[in-house]
Structure 1
């Protein structure tokens, strides 16, 4: 047994860990001891899964399966409790693996990505349902679910300990994937998520725990938006091996143009979160769309000289926020600040490209979770999603967690989503 020792828990990210008070939030500084068994490597699957001889590279191909965690029921309960998450739904221990697989860049070229695959240690050997779990904003690649033993594993461990397998993609450019993360590029996040489901199907078969094909979608903040878009893709037949059963996203930024970006200017989004989100979004989107010709066109000096480097995937939120000003107005040039308030052209298109995740009619139960106290992703985003779904004839109940902040919405919603999925599956 390899004892990784006590690992500090980091804060929950939504769009980020920046919270309603304008300060970076941290979860309880409790310690969880995670035991990773070297026997896993020598057991039913090796660290590497070689490709078939002479087979052409293809998206969704499983390249490697690496054991990363092995927790007892008590350890899972402690991990959740230390983070302030109700652990009543915990029934089993869990075992986690880093999945390395092929997927596509935003430009359509083959690349690799990683993600966390978690199985319940429930003693059964039949087919298991799958939760597709999408994480919130992360600026440091080492926070991603398959790498960091922190917030990114809360929801995967919660759902796996309730008896379902979990696929939690790191997304492109996070975890152990190459390049930089194309933040809020929903299309590539969905592509990477779909390909991880395919790789996970292979991994589950190799591990002797084949998947049933039933998929339950959830996600928090950025991940809430991705979960809705992934559900849309699955619902429209993106992969015949997977059947969407339910959707339960939390506090997703479903309406950038109509709600989230305007909220930066009317006080509904706190200053600290606004600075992190806008700097991350602009630098990432400018690699995909011609939003500005130089950083000096969008960002004030001296921030224009450092902002792109700060958001390269190797810096923590504390490092980034410590090097940037305290509000969006001081971050951006006056001209670009005005452009954001009245977006058009490529800027508006970049927002609207990501604002159609609720523009469809799901054939499965959908429940949206949010909080009136959220000053990272205001509740108006969820209400916009409800209206879009209703326009297609789909009524989606909203669970308002009340006066809690962004992170609080996640903590309260997770256990409720487990019970929802149990109900849909008939296991409640």
Structure 2
């Protein structure tokens, strides 16, 4: 979740045509060569995914260096974040790496790595998954001193090796972004960690096995998917250290869509999320054949094109109506109210991020009362699901946290320093 903003539309294309038009060939490239400052820990036998090339580093580019804590503080302050946890300067890099798309086919993705200057040689990784964006540049590796990159810089400046996947189809990744697809968010996040481990010795560091995992909004579900994969041993090296998701839509097909359709959330955000749900899920699961089945005119002819990765949040907001009644046909509203068929099956997977496993690592859930984009019922649903599986997951209510008039966005700002401090505590084992 986390509507950025949006757009007048250009001529529409049907979902199938749009997919064919933007289907991307996979990038190829060589693993960067060069001496390592430290030898990486000897690997055990590679997992099947790694043997297939997933997580292979294609390229690394230094984006900027914040040489002093004061420089880091300036960047965090410019993004609207606190800086009381800053200890080190930070170097930021964009990594491009091999992964798989939502259908399991080879592709590439990008992400941001932030490394503390003059930190310890061996570091724990922190993986941060960002919230919803509509443009390819709404990604950590594409922005500096910004909402999506600030948490990554905050964790690095406190002494962690911070890693943030851009997700498929965002940053420099080819193709369309499969929004709220937990499977591909998980593989992109896990493969980003593998690429970061390969890259770390070039910065004078090696990575510990324990990974601290966090994420905001859309990224909260992505973080849980990554945590589940790490605990299941899907990587031969990394293990889950702790989980700290923030303001997620963990019960997306239940609590979130119900609140959205009932008018309990911000009307404009609800319009954007309803449109994104139908368009994004249709690309993978065939929810409708023609946009006019679910979207009213004139939006049926324009709305799909708004989610092509080339339209900004401002364009998206300008290109969609102010109310769900103006956006959705009766059939479209019915699909979201009572999902059936392939949409229902996809939502069952999306909604299982808390329900189908029991984390063995410490978990803390963060939310803000009065969140206007992600109903707090999501967090209660997640807490209850974990409790049902014997896991205590305390909830921190961030109260009336505010960021440019949004408590949803404000929860990310307020939670970040709390999570940085928690992750910096001594190892739990």
TM-score, normalisation: structure 2: 0.86
Q: Matches of 1:392 and 1:401 in 2, distance apart? A: 25
DSSP-derived class of the 1:314 partner: coil
1:383 partnered with 2:385: no
**Contact 1:246-1:424 within 8 A present in 2 as well:** no
1:134 partnered with 2:97: no
Displacement after TM superposition at 1:151 (Å): 1.4
Q: Matches of 1:196 and 1:95 in 2, distance apart? A: 17
DSSP-derived class of the 1:233 partner: helix
Gaps of 5+ in 1: 1-13, 25-46
DSSP-derived class of the 1:58 partner: coil
DSSP-derived class of the 1:88 partner: coil
**Contact 1:289-1:346 within 8 A present in 2 as well:** yes
Per-residue CA shift, 1:346-375, capped at 9, x if unaligned? 222222120111121111110000011201
**Contact 1:371-1:409 within 8 A present in 2 as well:** yes
Gaps of 5+ in 2: 8-28, 35-49, 402-406
DSSP-derived class of the 1:172 partner: coil
**Contact 2:294-2:328 within 8 A present in 1 as well:** yes
Query: Aligned in 2, Cα 1:48/1:151: closer, same or farther, shift over 3 Å?
Result: farther
Question: Which residue is 1:211 aligned to?
Answer: 207
**Contact 1:122-1:163 within 8 A present in 2 as well:** no
Question: Which residue is 2:31 aligned to?
Answer: 49
**Contact 2:90-2:156 within 8 A present in 1 as well:** yes
Q: Matches of 1:288 and 1:254 in 2, distance apart? A: 20
Question: Which residue is 2:14 aligned to?
Answer: none
Displacement after TM superposition at 1:424 (Å): 4.6
Question: Which residue is 1:101 aligned to?
Answer: 97
Per-residue CA shift, 1:267-325, capped at 9, x if unaligned? 22211111111212211110100100011111111101111111100111110110110
Displacement after TM superposition at 1:99 (Å): 0.5
Displacement after TM superposition at 1:50 (Å): 4.3
Q: Matches of 1:51 and 1:273 in 2, distance apart? A: 45
Question: Which residue is 1:7 aligned to?
Answer: none
Per chain length, whose mean CA-contact separation is higher, i.e. which structure has more relative contact order (CA < 8 Å, sep 6+)? 2
User: 1:401-420 maps to which residues of 2 (within 5 A)?
Assistant: 401-404=398-401, 405-420=407-422
Q: Matches of 1:252 and 1:349 in 2, distance apart? A: 20
Q: Which one of 252, 277, 286 corresponds to residue 248 of structure 2?
A: 252
**Contact 2:54-2:191 within 8 A present in 1 as well:** yes
1:17 partnered with 2:14: no
Question: Which residue is 1:60 aligned to?
Answer: 55
Q: Matches of 1:158 and 1:48 in 2, distance apart? A: 31
Q: Which one of 289, 295, 301 corresponds to residue 297 of structure 2?
A: 301
Question: Which residue is 1:225 aligned to?
Answer: 221
DSSP-derived class of the 2:284 partner: coil
**Contact 2:4-2:134 within 8 A present in 1 as well:** no
Q: Matches of 1:222 and 1:248 in 2, distance apart? A: 13
**Contact 2:281-2:343 within 8 A present in 1 as well:** no
Question: Which residue is 1:31 aligned to?
Answer: none
Q: Matches of 2:364 and 2:304 in 1, distance apart? A: 37
Aligned residues: 384
Question: Which residue is 1:36 aligned to?
Answer: none
Q: Matches of 2:89 and 2:324 in 1, distance apart? A: 44
Q: Matches of 1:399 and 1:75 in 2, distance apart? A: 30
Q: Matches of 2:33 and 2:382 in 1, distance apart? A: 41
**Contact 1:49-1:64 within 8 A present in 2 as well:** yes
Per-residue CA shift, 1:109-151, capped at 9, x if unaligned? 1000000011001254x21110011000011101211112221
Displacement after TM superposition at 1:51 (Å): 8.2
Query: Which segment is superposed worse, 159-168 or 351-360?
Result: 351-360
Query: Which segment is superposed worse, 126-135 or 332-341?
Result: 332-341
Displacement after TM superposition at 1:79 (Å): 1.9
Query: Which segment is superposed worse, 332-341 or 365-374?
Result: 332-341
DSSP-derived class of the 1:238 partner: coil
DSSP-derived class of the 2:64 partner: strand
Q: Matches of 2:83 and 2:310 in 1, distance apart? A: 32
Question: Which residue is 2:44 aligned to?
Answer: none
Question: Which residue is 2:184 aligned to?
Answer: 188
DSSP-derived class of the 1:423 partner: coil
Q: Which one of 198, 201, 209 corresponds to residue 202 of structure 1?
A: 198
Q: Matches of 1:184 and 1:56 in 2, distance apart? A: 27
**Contact 2:180-2:350 within 8 A present in 1 as well:** yes
